[in-house]
Each structure stands twice: as structure tokens, then as C-alpha cells.
Structure 1
Amino acid sequence: MTAITANGITIEYEDDGDPAAPPLLLVMGLGAQLTLWPIELVDALVARGFRVIRFDNRDIGLSTKFDRAGLPDLAQLVMAMMTGKVFAPPYTLSDMAADAVGLLDALRIPSAHVVGASMGGMIAQLIAADYPTRVRSLTSIMSTSGNPSLPPAKREALAVLTGRPMTADRDTIVAHGIKSAQVIGSPAYPYDLDRLRARVERDFDRSFSPTGAMRQMAAVLADGDRRERLRRITAPTTVIHGDADPLVPVEGGRDTAAAIPGADLVILPGMGHDLPLPLIDDIADAIAATAARAR
């Protein structure tokens, strides 16, 4: 375990690969710890010549929690968005992007290849848009542009995202975590149940912070439409999306790629809202190819 002070908070991170290799920053999604990045993907990226840095976003895992900010009223936030009123979340996705840049500062890394998944893709997009000199290349995975006209999540996927049991009972939370992963996961690449259970149990035991995920959700909702900001991105970019994603439909990936000048779009058949092991090499190859464009 490695903690460092960055952007005024404590950030937990892991650093793999040759310290002299080109740095690659992985930004994880909503309510997810750095451990959700498959170690097989980390190893594949290290094998492709990168120094791979993962970290816990604020309010999750072993990084600083913002419990003092209280619980956001997500229904009130949605209503404010619909009526054009201002509703300030406890923090913003831009704050989370500043955390990531602060981590690079703390590690004395002038610039890095940046890869984000889901909400992490949104954060990575903002890093590239707002800190262009810090981003060598951008890969946005199973994320979206915030365009309000895009298709919504499927009902069952939204239900497991918002229906976390109001308990800290380990067995109940683990069962819900397994169900959630199966509902939003890749239909062409179903989970090995024993491996999935071990992963969910490991993450629960590492840190359990359900209120942090709610504050992160408020940041996502408040960020709104990013398309104008995406048009400012100058780094070589690839957008990766599964065509079977029930949580962030593939139209979100297409719209993201359309908004970023010169972006490549890679659509993976049968992939849902996860990083299935059989596709690790495809994903790692796409990331490496994007980085090569920066050279």
C-alpha cells in the first residue's frame, strides 16, 4: 500500500513497471477501487513497455473520504438539472481530474498516457481537455460524452447501480456485488463465479464506502454535457466500447469519439460494462497503439 498527498488530499496508488518507462495513468470508475483494474491488464501494459499507475479516486478505497460533505440528494440534483436550476454537488468531476493531475505532480511526472473507464473515462476526458500538456494520449473506455439525448441505461442495469442494500452486512453486500457485475457484465464473456466472488470479497474487505459512491454519482450528474469541452482535446485519442454495454450504451462511445477531433473508435462485440479477461490483449493493444500515435 502506497499513499501520497496530492491536490490537498491523500491518494492511495499502485505503481507497476519500469520507473523509466513511459507513464500510463489508469483512472477507475464510479464507486470502484484501483483493484478493479484486472491485474492481467496491468501486466499486459507493463509488458508493452509502460509504467502503469493506478489509484483510488477521492471518496473510495483508501483515499481521502468526504463524509463530512454529507449525502447528496440525487433526486433533487436530477430535478435541478431538468429545470435548469443550479445544484452544487459536494465536489465535481473537474475536482477529481485535478486529483489525478495532482498525483502526477506528486510523482514528478510531467505528462502521461491517460486511460479511464466509465466515470474514469469522463475524468480522463476532462484531464485531456483542461490539462493538455499533461496528456500524451487518451483512451476512454465504456464512457460517454454526457449528451442528454443519448439512450439511457437499461432498466435492470440502472436498478443494480442505484439499488445497493442499505446495510454493511458483508454477505449481503457481496451478494449484491456479484449480481451487479453479472447484470452489467459482458454477455459474450460470462464471469467465472468463484473468481468474481473472490474479487468482490477482496474489495469489500479492503474498503467499504457506499456514501462515497453517492457523492461521486452527484459529480457525474452535475457535470452535464461535455461535448464542447471534448472538442478542445488535442491528444491522440481512442474510444473503446462494448456493443453489449447495458449501463452506458454503445451510442455513448460513438458520441464521444465523434466529439473528439481525430479520435479512433474501437467497438468490441459482446463486451458489456466490464473488462473481460479474453479481451485484455485487444484492449492493451488499442491503448498501446494510441500511445504510439503520440510518438
Structure 2
Amino acid sequence: MPRAAANGIELEYDTFGSPAHPALLLIMGLGTQMTAWDPRFCGKLAERGFHVIRFDNRDIGLSTQFDGLPEPDLVAILGGDRGCVPYMLADMADDAAGLLDTLEVDRAHVVGASMGGMIAQELAIRHGERVLSLCSIMSTSGNRDVGYPTQEAMAALMAPRGADREQAISRAVQVQRIIGSGAPQYAVSDEVRYERAAAAYDRAYRPDGGIRQLAAIAASPDRTEALGALKLPVLVMHGDQDPLVDVSGGRATAAAVPGAELRIFPGMGHDLPEPLWNEFVEAISRNAARAAR
């Protein structure tokens, strides 16, 4: 996969579809590599006439790491002390804008999942002229009163990292059991979870980067007011059984943006269930078409 200079760092990325088609930028979530955007899902978007771009956020996967920085104190950050925060969501949004610069993409449709939805919102707020349409999936507005995790989900997220490959993979499987969709129609076997976790581990294991990304989320301000000033097509998608980012986060995001469309998926947790891919692609394509109109 290629790398691109962006905002003073390097981002690993790849693409699907023809560069002659409108660009669609996919932004993944906390501690999660771009490979979590399944190539088959990316292919479905490309078949709908998009030039799909996915990339590793800073501090994860094969993009630039910030391992030389001190570990942030999350308790202090939540208490209002941001002195130990290595970067903010705004910096990560500027990374995405820098990637578009390097790829010579003037404007793009933007889709973000979880933390990626927060980054996508920041990208639209900070670089509105670059964003044709916005889709925020299983994300939130930055208002601390919405989009909260369950105690079980937060405990799973903050559990000690694995001491070796097998422990790290087992931990990842356990996290996905807790935060993923529990509805029978979206069921995923532990074998599939293991294969995904093993592939991610073998590609790049960067647990410290996830802590720094979590600090960026915790330290970044509420986006509600700024979202209200957006003048572009916005689609918000969320599962009603999301234990990591409560559905109230999606509802608040949609409520903040005039004219935003809200899609709530019954039984969906904090993942992208394959049985819903066609619905996701259709909704994203329809939202993008609103920009063309």
C-alpha cells in the first residue's frame, strides 16, 4: 500500500475504483486500522461510482506513530487538564485534509465510523469547502451527556493489553463480543473474530496509539454548535444496541445539523454488520446524490 505525506506526517492509504469518479474518504475509529473497512464493502461503494480512499489514522496501523510522547493521563484530561494531550481530533481532521491535498482531491464525500465519525465531523467543520457530503456512523457530537458507553464496554476497552500475540488477539475477540452486534441476524462467530483480530495484530500492533487517540477524544470540545452551521448533506447512522457509543450520540448529532437524515438500525451494536452493507451503501450513495443536486 502507498504512503502519503500529510500535515507533517505520513499516512498509509489505498484506493478502490476509478480516480475519475467522485472521491469518497473513509475514516476508521479508535485504535482500528483502515483494514476494518472491509475490501468487499469498499468494492460495493466503488461499484456505485465512487473513488474510495481508506487510510490509517495517525498513531495506528502503518501511519506515523507518536511513541516518543509520554502516555496521557486520562483521569487528568477528564478533569480538565489537557497538558498531557499529544494531539486533538482537529489535528486528525487536518491529517485527512492533508491526504486529500497529496492525492490532489479538491472535494470528497466523507464517511467516518465511531472516532472516525468525530474526525469526519471536524473535517467538515474545519475544511467545509473540501467536504461534499458527510456520513457519521455510530458516533457522537462531543456532548458528554450523550453517546456514553456502558460500564461493561468501557471496562473491556480499558482492560490490560495482551502480553503476547495470543493474549492480544484474545482480548480483541472479547472486546468485539461485548461491543459488537448481538442480534441473531448479525451474529459473527468467534472464529471470524479471531481471524480479523489476528490479521490486524500481524499487520501492526500499536496499543499505545489507541490510548493517545482516546486522549484526543476526551480532550476535544463539544461540536454541537459548530455542527449547526454546516451546510451540506449529512447522514447519521447508528445501531440502537450500541454499548460503546450510545444511540443518543447519533440522535444528538443528527439533531445538531439542520436537514440531517437519521437512520437507526435495530439490533446493531458497535460494528458494521455485513447483512447491512447494502443498506449502508444505498444510504451513503443517496446522501452523496443530495450534494450533486
When normalised by structure 2's length, the TM-score is: 0.96
Residue of structure 2 equivalent to 1:288:
285
Q: Could you give the per-residue CA deviations for residues 95-135 of structure 1, whole angstroms, max 9, x where no partner exists?
A: 00000000000000000000000000000001111111100
SS at match of 1:72: coil
Residue of structure 1 equivalent to 2:11:
11
Q: Is the 8 A contact 2:162 2:168 kept in 1?
A: no
2:159 to 144, 156, 163: 163
Question: d(CA) in 2 for partners of 1:105 and 1:214?
Answer: 28
Say if 1:281 and 1:164 are closer, same or farther in 2 by CA, change over 3 A.
farther
2:230 paired with 1:223: no
Q: Is the 8 A contact 1:40 1:277 kept in 2?
A: no
Cα drift, residue 165 of structure 1: 2.2
SS at match of 2:68: helix
Identity of aligned residues (%): 50
Question: d(CA) in 2 for partners of 1:281 and 1:166?
Answer: 35
Residue of structure 2 equivalent to 1:61:
61
Q: In the alignment, residue 286 of structure 1 is paired with which amino acid?
A: A
Q: In the alignment, residue 74 of structure 2 is paired with which amino acid?
A: L
Alignment of 1:271-282 (within 5 A): 271-282=268-279
2:194 paired with 1:194: no
Q: In the alignment, residue 49 of structure 2 is paired with which amino acid?
A: G
Question: d(CA) in 2 for partners of 1:30 and 1:93?
Answer: 11
Q: Could you give the per-residue CA deviations for residues 121-166 of structure 1, whole angstroms, max 9, x where no partner exists?
A: 0000011111111000000000001112226211111111111425
Cα RMSD after superposing both structures: 1.1
Question: d(CA) in 2 for partners of 1:45 and 1:223?
Answer: 31
Residue of structure 2 equivalent to 1:144:
140
SS at match of 2:136: strand
Question: d(CA) in 1 for partners of 2:210 and 2:188?
Answer: 24
Cα drift, residue 225 of structure 1: 1.3
Q: In the alignment, residue 112 of structure 1 is paired with which amino acid?
A: A
Q: Is the 8 A contact 1:87 1:222 kept in 2?
A: no
Residue of structure 1 equivalent to 2:41:
41
Question: d(CA) in 1 for partners of 2:229 and 2:122?
Answer: 10
Deviating 4+ runs (over 3 angstroms):
85-88
Cα drift, residue 202 of structure 1: 0.4
SS at match of 2:41: helix
Structure 1 residue runs of 5 or longer lacking an equivalent are: none
Question: d(CA) in 2 for partners of 1:143 and 1:57?
Answer: 16
Cα drift, residue 47 of structure 1: 1.1
When normalised by structure 1's length, the TM-score is: 0.96
Structure 2 residue runs of 5 or longer lacking an equivalent are: none
